[in-house]
Amino acid sequence: MKSREIKFYKALLVCLLFFSVHGMGAQVLQQTDIEESVRKSYPPLLAAFQEINQANADALAAKGKFDTKLKGKAENNSLGYYENRVADVSVEQPLRWGGADLFGGWRIGQGTFPVYEGKYETRSGGEYRVGARLPLLQDRSIDSRRADLQKTAIGQQAAGLSVEQQRLAIMNSAIQRYWLWVAAGNRLAIARGVLQTAQSRQALLDLGADSGQLPAIDAVDNRRAVLQRQGQVVEATRALQGAALDLSLLYRDAAGDPIVPTESQLPPEVTHNPSPDPMDVNSSVSLAWEKRPDARRVATQRASAEVDLKVARNQKLPDLDLTTSFTSERGTSSTVRRGPQEFRAGVVFELPLQRRQAEGRIQAAQARIVQFTKREQFAKDTIREEVQDAISALTTASQRLRVAQEELSVTRQLEQAERTKFELGEGTLFLLNLREQATLESAVRNVTALADHQRAVAAYRYSMADL
């Protein structure tokens, strides 16, 4: 086999080994991938969306109280002293305006009827009727049917706010866990890097110690550093595994099954994205009050209690209804003394003297309104505190990141200077190990500061309802 062919197959073998280790087609897992997975497949969020479906179903049921109602009845009385047949068809329609009810229908009764059932007897063409009931006091401005419409509409709004509140919290948690996973992966990479440095140096130190050119204690000390760094790699590996499992609760496939992200999906490094520029605290708090669903959801609960208060006050009014009806008899009859056309109007009055039921409901509704008002105020106070804390945390994270980056730069310079001295024979391995350990710790702090900065950005956007 020619040398050129040997080189080709060696290169092919190297490529195959590389892809077997790093995976073929493994894509870097980005924050946007986690967000998309949460939106599409995270079970608690998908379950939360059912609150909207339930609220829509309740609203549809409330509208059903204004459905047109068709009634029918047919009776045949035989074998007795009075033999007769009655057929009755009617339509009833509740109205949202003024709490009124309309009705209309047709009835026919044939045969002989006792005096007390004379209303069932009609002429040969039957009896047509239309009428209405109009509340004059109680149920005039609101009644239980219209109250249910209002409350279910409020319930739809509350359900949307509840889902939005859960979505924000879940998305914030997902982003927080993502950056903890990324930071854990970078800490593992740093630990492996310093371990590899110590392992590479060990062979040279062992050779120098065996030949007598270097003190044997240097080889032993470096072996101690190798063992220490191996322990750091083990700890970092476990931390990455835990962070990956934690992230898998939110990172899922299309079927909703958890996906444990692999090490090959880690970004090469934690990048520093520009920080959002927060407005002043008062402006940020005012904007958060408008956008955050927390306080607005409590406000909808208070609005629902206000509807209950209106209904309770309505029930305290006298029940005074105006009723009207018009009937028209068709055909001929020698016994029916009604008609051929009649118009009736009247009023119906009813009033419990104590009205304790209505008074009790008024007091209960007022108590709920005070309760939700206090809760709304506390929700606004909580939002203010979260916005202030998020701005403070973001500012601090930015400052800490700048310090960590400067510290890492200086620490690397010191390590390189110490390594140069050691290679020239002017330094000691002990000091070089200390410098390398200091660089490792500084690099870990830098990676942590980068991840914490990203987490602070997410927390700030969560506090502003901007995720």
Same domain, 159 and 194: yes
Distance, CA of 169 to CA of 449 (rounded, Å): 23
For 397-412, write each residue's pLDDT tens digit: 999 999 999 999 999 9
For 304-336, write each residue's pLDDT tens digit: 999 999 999 999 999 999 999 999 988 887 677
Mean pLDDT of 189-195: 90
Same domain, 338 and 255: no
339 — alpha (psi -120 to 50), left (phi > 0) or beta? left
Residue 313 forms part of a structural domain = no
Token pair in block for residue 463? 């506090």
Give the predicted TM-score (pTM) of the model: 0.79
- With 90 as the cut, is the pLDDT of residue 146 above it? yes
Residue 416 forms part of a structural domain = yes
Domain of residue 116: give its range: 70-136+319-354
278 — alpha (psi -120 to 50), left (phi > 0) or beta? beta
Same domain, 383 and 433: yes
For 49-89, write each residue's pLDDT tens digit: 999 999 999 999 999 999 999 999 999 998 888 889 999 99
For the chain, what is the mean pLDDT? 87
Nearest to 215 by CA among 419, 417, 425: 425
For 241-282, write each residue's pLDDT tens digit: 999 999 999 999 988 899 999 999 998 766 666 667 777 888
Higher-confidence position of 25 and 308? 308
- With 60 as the cut, is the pLDDT of residue 7 above it? no
- Identify the pLDDT of residue 272: 61
Same domain, 349 and 375: no
Same domain, 195 and 244: yes
Same domain, 452 and 377: yes
Same domain, 230 and 377: yes
Maximum CA extent, the chain: 141
Same domain, 349 and 278: no
Number of structural domains the chain divides into: 2
- Identify the pLDDT of residue 15: 40
Same domain, 443 and 296: yes
- With 90 as the cut, is the pLDDT of residue 212 above it? no
Distance from the Cα of residue 333 to its chain's centroid: 70
- Identify the pLDDT of residue 91: 96
Mean pLDDT of 6-31: 50
Q: Is 428 helix (H, G, I), strand (E, B) or coil?
A: coil
Contact 45, 170 (CB under 8 A): yes
Distance, CA of 26 to CA of 76 (rounded, Å): 81
- Identify the pLDDT of residue 6: 40
- Identify the pLDDT of residue 22: 41
Please state at what angle helix 43-63 crosses helix 144-211, rounded to 10 degrees: 180
Mean pLDDT of 275-290: 82
> Which helix (H) or strand (E) element contains residue 109?
strand 101-111
Cα torsion 201, 207, 208, 209: sign = positive
> Which helix (H) or strand (E) element contains residue 342?
strand 341-350
Q: Is 206 helix (H, G, I), strand (E, B) or coil?
A: helix
> Minimum mean pLDDT among 170-179, 298-307, 415-424: which range?
415-424
Same domain, 327 and 224: no
- Identify the pLDDT of residue 150: 94
How many angstroms separate the Cα of 385 from the Cα of each of 260, 268, 282, 289, 400?
35, 36, 11, 12, 22
For 357-389, write each residue's pLDDT tens digit: 889 999 999 999 999 999 999 999 999 999 999
Higher-confidence position of 417 and 277? 417
Same domain, 130 and 167: no
